[in-house]
Amino acid sequence: MTSKPHINIVWLKRDLRLEDNEAIANALQSGKPTLLIYAFEHLLLNDNHYSERHFNFIKESIRDINIQLKPFGTKVLSVTGDIQSVFNLIQSFYKIDAIYSHLETGILVTYNRDKEFSRYCRNNFISWKESKNNGVERGLLNRENWLEEWENYMNQPIEIFNPMPNQLLSLEEISRLESVLTVTDLDTPEKTKFQKGGTTTAWKYANSFFESRYKDYMFNISKPEASRTSCSRLSPYISWGNVSIRQIFQKGQKIKEASKDKRHIGAFLSRLRWQAHFIQKFEMEHTMENASVNKGYHKLKKSISLQYQKAWREGQTGFPLVDASMRCLIETGYVNFRMRAMLVSFFTHILWQPWQHASEHLSQLFLDFEPGIHFPQLQMQAGETGINNLRIYNPTLNGLKHDTDAEFIKKWVPELAHLDIPFIHEPYLMTELEQGLYNFKLGVDYPEPIVDIKENRKRASDILWNMKTDPEVQKESFRILKRHTLQDRSRLLKSN
């Protein structure tokens, strides 16, 4: 009986790149024949946190990797199926010695999958080697020295993709595997308003940001329209691993050193630190996916209004900046941080709905859906951590301040575009006479406000401020601070 050839496998997840990919680098260092694989797993294809825009971005990313792999005579094996079934079929051709991947700070279904897959590897005498992803540590009990370790990691040398000749499985060998697996069609729609996936496109965004766009970063970061060009727009590429945070961090450091005005790049780099901080927090408190990290808020009960939730999801609340932000998100997969915070604040405070009911809708829309950012931010903006300042965003005031000329609102709520700017921000203030003059009917051409914002804001503020004095909330706040507070929080904010 002929023995099966021995191989290593790199299981790509949210690390869709060749350079600075420790899983790939470690696999190649072993010197053994290596296969790169991405599995479109049913557990994610059917999960309500994900949508077609995510899978299209992944497909575009894999296509970009395959272009880079052409000189090496190989490609990523892209299949659809449950991961254990996929590996079982591969084992009918090869003896898998080791599987390399990154630790994934994902949703509960991927965490449970990984626990089952670990047992699968043990039962099949396969060594599963996981690298830490972007400096996030597994198994931490507190944050002592965490920031120092993270910055040390960020300053380590970039891993270079450098396979030995013929080390990667050939197209012919991959074709034999494809004959028994369900191959995924990597074609995606050509014309969409979404950012395209892939490392090549990621660096186009990064280079244009570091060359010029960063100079308006702090000036426009809160403006819903201007931020679309002055912010880096790298978030989906970081979330899906087209680039590593280390690559972007080191590039940013070089630009900062050479720049005369270091504030903008400094502010950008501080947000990379904050991103890692929140992902690390979620890694250490995975129950945040479904319940507030502060258990004192589990007693907070809110009335469910399907009517309110539908109006919010469809951008038909009668509050122009809220509706513009939601419609923009639906069409493009992106709005800036302030608009995201405002959408959550409006849902949880003004409409007084549970943040859990906003979670899946927003995760499906965010092209850059990152579980480690998503769930902590939902809870922070909902005011249910007990350790953060309570922020209840007023969409009208935010519109007047950050979209003064109503450029963003006019673009995404075109039924208001012909009104004078004051009425674009507050169409509900128009009299019957004024509506007639503009050939505009409130409640017909655009919805009347679905709630009284002043009254509802006061209700939310009173309840949530009172809850801060609750003994269980305070006890939990102390626990959270002890577990997650950094020794020197000011270093997260440093910008010069």
Confidence (pLDDT) at 141 = 87
Judge if 396 and 264 occupy the same domain: no
Instruction: Detail the DSSP E strand segments found in 4-74.
Output: 6-11, 34-40
In a domain, 128, yes or no: yes
**What is the spatial distance between Cα 65 and Cα 487, in angstroms, rounded to a whole number?**
40
Please, what is the average pLDDT of the chain?
Answer: 95
CA distance linking residue 408 with residue 394, whole number of Å: 17
The per-residue pLDDT for 99 is 98
Based on the domain organization, do 128 and 47 belong to the same domain?
Answer: yes
Residues 111 and 238 occupy one common structural domain:
no
Q: Are residues 370 and 246 in the same domain?
A: no
The distance from CA 446 to its chain's CA centroid, rounded to whole angstroms, is: 32
The answer as to whether 192 is a domain residue is no
CB atoms within 10 A of CB 428: 16
Res. 10 pLDDT band, cuts 50 70 90 = very high
SS3 128: strand
Same domain, 335 and 379: yes
Asked whether residue 172 is assigned to any structural domain, the reply reads no
Same-domain pairing of 322 and 391? yes
Q: In whole angstroms, what is the distance from residue 440 CA to residue 90 CA?
A: 64
The yes-or-no verdict on residue 337 having pLDDT over 80 is yes
Share of the chain above pLDDT 90, in %: 93
Instruction: Supply the DSSP string of 260-297, one letter for each residue.
Output: S--HHHHHHHHHHHHHHHHHHHHHH-GGGGTS-SSGGG
Q: How many whole angstroms separate alpha carbon 162 and alpha carbon 30?
A: 12
Cα 451 to Cα 288: distance, rounded to the nearest angstrom: 29
Residues 14 and 110 placed together within one structural domain of the fold: yes
- Domain containing residue 114: CATH number: 3.40.50.620
> Last residue of a domain, which of 113, 133, 153?
133
Residues 6+ apart with CB under 8 A from 396: 319, 321, 425, 426, 453
pLDDT given at position 495 = 44
Tally of domains in the chain: 3
pLDDT value at position 101? 98
Q: Choose the weakest-confidence range: 104-108, 159-163, 427-431, 491-495.
A: 491-495
- State yes or no: pLDDT of 493 exceeds 80: no
- Residue 54 covered by a domain: yes
Q: Domain holding 331: CATH number? A: 1.10.579.10
pTM for this one? 0.96
* pLDDT surpassing 90 at residue 14: yes
Q: Say how far apart CA 94 and CA 26 lie, in whole Å.
A: 20
- Tell me the one-letter amino acid at 229: T
Evaluate if residue 244 carries a pLDDT over 60. yes
Residues 235 and 339 in one domain: no
**Mean pLDDT throughout 158-165?**
96
Residue 260 lies in a domain: yes
Domain co-membership, 299 together with 392: yes
| Confidence bin at 492 (pLDDT 50/70/90) | low
**Environment class of 352 (CB within 10 Å of its CB; exposed 0-12, middle 13-18, buried 19+):** middle
Residue range(s) defining the domain that contains residue 435: 295-477
Give dist(CA 332, CA 233) in Å, integer. 12
Q: What is the band of 55 on the pLDDT scale with cuts at 50, 70, 90?
A: very high
Query: What CATH number is attached to the domain comprising 237?
Result: 1.25.40
**Whether the predicted pLDDT of 496 surpasses 50:** no
Average pLDDT on 372-383 reads: 96
Beta carbons of 249 and 255 less than 8 angstroms apart = no
Q: Is the pLDDT of residue 260 over 80?
A: yes
Give the model's pLDDT for residue 237.
Answer: 98
Does 159 reside within a domain?
A: no
pLDDT tens for each residue of 181-208: 999 999 999 999 999 999 999 999 999 9
Q: Which whole number is the average pLDDT over 307-317? A: 98
- Please give the average per-residue pLDDT across 320-339, as a whole number: 98
Whether 242 and 299 share a structural domain: no
Question: Which of residues 82, 109, 133 is at a domain's end?
Answer: 133
127 three-state secondary structure: strand
- Residue 92 pLDDT greater than 60, yes or no: yes
Tokens 């034999």 — which residue? 176
For residue 144, is it within any domain?
A: no
**Look-up: residue for tokens 């059917």?**
46
> How far is the C-alpha of 274 from the C-alpha of 277, rounded, in Å?
5
22 shares its domain with 47: yes
DSSP helix/strand/coil, 7: strand
Q: How sure is the predictor about 366, in pLDDT bands with cuts at 50, 70 and 90? A: very high
The residue among 103, 133, 163 that closes a domain is 133
Say if residue 326 is exposed, middle or buried (CB neighbours under 10 Å; 0-12, 13-18, 19+).
buried
Do 231 and 366 lie in a common domain? no
Q: Does any domain span residue 187?
A: no
